[in-house]
C-alpha cells in the first residue's frame, strides 16, 4: 500500500471519561463493516495456519475461533484478562455493537503479538519483516518522527487503519490504530511527545504469555498522558507478552530514544549523531545475539530473506541529507526516493 495521509482535524473521538463499554460507540457506528471484515480475515488466516501451529498454541486459536465450549470459555477468559479490565470491557462493547464474536475480536486484538510468533513458529525463524522508523531534527530545531507500517498477518489489516483522538478533559493524544483494535501503534500528544512501536525478533526471547500484549501496554502508557520523561519511564515499568522497539521523541531537540523492550527488561538507545533509525533488528552490538537469522529455509526447501538490515542501511543512505520539512521527512520512506 502507498503511505496513508490522515487529516489531523478529522479524528474519531474516544472519550476516556466514558465507561469502557461505551467509549467506542461513535467509532463503531461508522466502522462496523471494517471490523466485520477484519475479524473474518483474522479467522480465515488462523484456520488456514492452524495445522502448522505448535501444539500448545492450537487450543488457544481453536477455542478463540470457534468458542462456545466450556474449555473455550475458560481460555477466552484467560486471554481477556491479559488486556486488563478496562480494555477487556472496551473489546466486549465493540464486539457487541459491531455484531462480531467477542472471542474472535479478542484474537484480532492479539494479532500484533501473534504475527511475531508467526515469524518464528510458522516461517522457521528470522527477524520480523515490517515497520521502519527514524527521527531527526528539522532546521528550526523541531524533532520529527517518521514511520511506515507494513502489515504481514493478515495483510488486510493495513486497509482498515484509522486516526483516533483519545481525550480526558482538556488533555488528548492522537493515535493510529486499526478498526476494532483497542491498542496503540503510533501516538502523539502535541507539544509533548510522539511514539511508535516496531516489532522485535522473538527467536531468542521467551514469550511471556500472562503479560499484557504490546499494543495494549503502549495504550496504557499513552492514557496516562504526562511529558516525554514520564512516557519513557512508564514504557519501562511493566513486562509485555512479546518484545518491541518503542521509538520515542519529545518536543526538545535532544529528546530522541529507542527503548528495546525485551519482555522482562529494557535497554535504551539514544541518538548518535544527527538521526536515530530503527527497523526490526537489535542495532546495539551487545544485543545483536538476540537477532534471528537473516536467511532461513522453509519446509518446502525455499529460502526466505529478512530485509530489516537492508531497510536500515537504505535509511542511512537517504538520511545523509536530512529532511527540511515534514513532507520531506515522509518522503524519505517512500519507494523510489
Residue 336 has pLDDT above 80, yes or no: no
pTM of the model: 0.89
CATH pick for 132-149+185-331 out of 3.20.20.80, 3.40.50.1010, 3.60.60.10, 3.30.70.260: 3.60.60.10
Tell me the pLDDT band of 8, cut-offs 50, 70 and 90: low
Question: At residue 42, does pLDDT exceed 60?
Answer: yes
**Mean pLDDT confidence for 222-227:** 96
CB 131 within 8 A of CB 147: yes
Cβ contacts of 170 within 8 Å, gap of 6 or more: none
Decide: helix, strand or coil at residue 231: helix
Residue 93 pairs in a beta bridge with none
Calculate the average pLDDT of the chain.
85
pLDDT at 213 over 50: yes
Q: What is the mean pLDDT of residues 225-238?
A: 96
Extents of the domains making up the chain: 16-122, 132-149+185-331
The pLDDT, as a whole number, for residue 70 is 46
Joined together, the cell numbers standing for residue 296 give: 532461513
**Higher pLDDT pick, 154 / 278:** 278
pLDDT digits (tens, 9 = 90+) for 60-119: 666 666 654 444 456 667 777 888 889 999 999 999 999 998 888 988 898 888 777 665
What per-residue confidence (pLDDT) applies to 208?
83
DSSP output for 115-133: HHHIIIIIT-S------EE
Q: What are phi and psi of 94, to 5 degrees?
A: -65, -45
Q: What is the pLDDT of residues 304-329, one digit of tens each?
A: 677 889 999 999 999 999 999 999 99
Cβ neighbours around 184 below 10 Å, total: 25
Residues present in the chain in total: 337
| pLDDT for the residue numbered 131 | 87
Cell 521527512 belongs to 329
Amino acid at each position: 500500500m502507498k503511505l496513508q495521509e490522515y487529516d489531523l482535524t478529522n479524528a474519531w473521538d474516544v472519550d476516556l471519561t466514558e465507561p469502557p463499554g461505551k467509549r467506542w460507540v461513535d467509532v463503531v457506528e461508522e466502522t462496523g463493516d471494517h471490523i466485520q471484515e477484519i475479524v473474518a480475515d483474522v479467522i480465515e488466516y488462523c484456520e488456514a495456519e492452524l495445522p502448522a501451529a505448535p501444539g500448545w498454541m492450537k487450543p488457544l486459536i481453536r477455542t478463540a475461533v470457534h468458542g462456545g465450549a466450556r474449555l473455550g470459555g475458560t481460555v477466552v477468559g484467560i486471554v481477556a484478562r491479559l488486556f486488563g479490565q478496562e480494555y477487556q470491557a472496551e473489546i466486549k462493547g465493540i464486539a457487541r455493537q459491531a455484531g462480531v464474536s467477542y472471542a474472535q475480536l479478542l484474537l484480532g486484538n492479539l494479532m500484533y503479538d501473534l504475527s511475531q510468533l508467526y515469524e518464528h513458529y510458522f516461517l522457521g525463524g528470522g527477524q520480523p519483516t515490517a515497520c521502519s522508523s527514524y527521527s531527526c531534527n528539522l532546521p528550526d530545531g523541531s524533532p520529527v518522527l517518521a514511520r511506515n507500517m507494513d502489515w504481514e498477518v493478515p495483510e488486510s489489516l493495513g486497509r482498515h487503519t484509522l486516526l483516533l483522538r483519545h481525550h480526558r478533559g482538556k488533555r488528548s493524544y492522537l493515535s493510529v490504530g486499526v478498526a476494532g483494535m483497542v491498542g496503540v501503534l503510533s501516538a502523539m500528544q502535541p507539544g509533548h511527545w510522539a511514539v511508535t512501536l516496531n516489532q522485535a525478533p522473538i527467536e531468542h526471547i521467551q514469550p511471556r504469555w500472562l503479560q499484557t500484549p504490546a499494543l495494549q501496554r503502549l495504550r496504557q502508557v499513552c492514557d496516562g498522558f504526562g511529558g516525554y520523561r514520564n512516557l519513557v519511564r512508564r514504557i519501562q515499568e511493566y513486562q509485555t507478552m512479546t518484545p518491541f522497539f518503542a521509538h520515542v521523541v519529545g518536543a526538545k531537540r535532544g529528546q530522541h530514544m529507542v527503548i528495546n523492550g525485551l519482555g522482562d527488561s529494557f535497554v535504551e538507545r539514544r541518538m548518535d549523531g544527527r538521526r536515530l533509525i530503527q527497523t526490526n533488528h537489535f542495532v546495539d552490538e551487545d544485543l545483536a545475539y538476540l537477532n534471528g537469522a537473516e536467511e532461513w529455509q522453509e519446509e518446502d526447501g525455499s529460502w526466505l530473506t529478512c530485509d530489516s538490515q537492508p531497510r536500515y542501511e537504505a535509511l542511512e543512505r537517504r538520511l545523509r541529507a536530512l529532511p527540511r520539512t515534514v513532507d520531506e521527512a515522509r518522503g524519505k520512506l517512500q519507494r523510489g526516493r
